[in-house]
């Protein structure tokens, strides 16, 4: 390819490539577009300022901005196999005797489903979906935060819920997110839910475990919960892009990939 392409056209090509692939590297772009590494880095810096992408070590990842909130039934149907596998993997990180926060969401619900067999476990959650399948399990106490029921996300919100969270010192947090971005951090489309998750983070003494399928990585929604650095462990699915591993681990986050068909 000729290196005489004007910058705007070249940057448009980069955008199309990153939308298609999700992740691009400086070296691959340099070869594909027949320009120097310095030129590609300059292009990526320009595109990052527009919010199209986020820079990573040696490349960039597509920044997906979500403008509407999916309701709970929609989210529950999306990537269901991945979420179930993540739920099984994350449940293995919970130990007998733990007091754990679990926030709202269809992925965190899957974690609750797979906690069978744990002993002396206390779950404090604003996830109303937990009640439907829980059915009373020996050795597990399920404590709802109370609060205002929000039908769209099937969860409990408001000051009552936050006050309950603030009465607890948890040993672990299982946290779902709507967006996981290097630049904006953990985000939610609903400010009340972001506030409850933030309170759970602040009241957790041990591991903060984020459960998120790969569609959430690089996504940004409206309200910031916390920077990515609060996360100790990310449990994601088998299609995780290994090109992102170094940047995520550099933040101090351990990555666990669940197995397909687990």
Does 94 share its domain with 125? yes
- The sign of the torsion formed by the CA atoms of 30, 33, 36, 41 equals negative
pLDDT at 66: 57
For residue 247, tell me if it sits in a domain. Answer: yes
Confidence of residue 261 (pLDDT cuts 50, 70, 90): low
Report the CATH number at residue 18. Answer: 1.10.10.10
Quote the pTM value.
Answer: 0.79
State what percent of residues in the chain have pLDDT above 70.
90
Total domains in the fold of the chain: 2
Q: pLDDT (tens digit, 9 = 90+) per residue, 216-227?
A: 998 888 899 999
Q: Is the pLDDT of residue 49 over 90?
A: no
Asked if 160 and 253 sit in the same domain, the reply is yes
CA distances from 161 to 126, 146, 154, 165 (A): 7, 5, 14, 6
Name the packing angle between helices 7-21 and 26-33 (round to 10°).
130
Give domain status of residue 128, yes or no: yes
Same domain for 209 and 87: yes
CATH number of the domain that 166 lies in?
A: 3.40.50.1360
Q: At what angle do helices 37-50 and 7-21 cross, to 10 degrees?
A: 70
Are both 86 and 131 inside the same structural domain?
yes
Alpha-carbon 244 to chain mean position: 14
- 111 neighbors 91 (Cβ within 8 angstroms): yes
43 and 94 in a single domain? The answer is no
Q: How high is the mean pLDDT of the chain?
A: 88
Domain holding 57, by residue range, is 7-62
H-helix or E-strand spanning residue 175: strand 170-176
Residue 112 inside a domain? The answer is yes
In a domain, 262, yes or no: no
């Amino acid at each position: 390819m000729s290196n005489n392409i004007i910058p705007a056209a070249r940057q448009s090509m980069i955008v199309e490539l990153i939308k298609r692939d999700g992740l691009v590297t400086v070296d691959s772009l340099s070869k594909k577009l027949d320009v120097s590494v310095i030129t590609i880095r300059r292009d990526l810096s320009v595109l990052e300022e527009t919010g199209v992408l986020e820079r990573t070590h040696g490349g960039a990842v597509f920044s997906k901005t979500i403008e509407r909130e999916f309701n709970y039934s929609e989210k529950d149907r999306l990537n269901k196999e991945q979420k179930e596998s993540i739920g099984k993997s994350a449940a293995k990180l919970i130990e007998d005797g733990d007091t754990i926060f679990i926030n709202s969401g269809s992925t965190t619900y899957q974690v609750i489903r797979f906690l069978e067999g744990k002993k002396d476990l206390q779950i404090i959650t604003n996830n109303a979906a937990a009640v439907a399948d829980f059915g009373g399990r020996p050795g597990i106490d399920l404590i709802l935060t109370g609060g205002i029921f929000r039908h769209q996300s099937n969860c409990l919100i408001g000051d009552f819920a936050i006050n309950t969270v603030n009465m607890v010192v948890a040993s672990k947090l299982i946290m779902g997110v709507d967006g996981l971005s290097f630049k904006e951090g953990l985000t939610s489309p609903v400010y009340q839910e972001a506030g409850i998750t933030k309170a759970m983070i602040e009241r957790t003494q041990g591991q903060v475990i984020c459960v998120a399928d790969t569609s959430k990585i690089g996504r940004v929604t409206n309200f910031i919960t916390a920077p990515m650095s609060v996360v100790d462990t990310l449990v994601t699915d088998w299609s995780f892009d290994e090109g992102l591993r170094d940047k995520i681990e550099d933040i101090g986050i351990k990555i666990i990939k669940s197995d397909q068909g687990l």
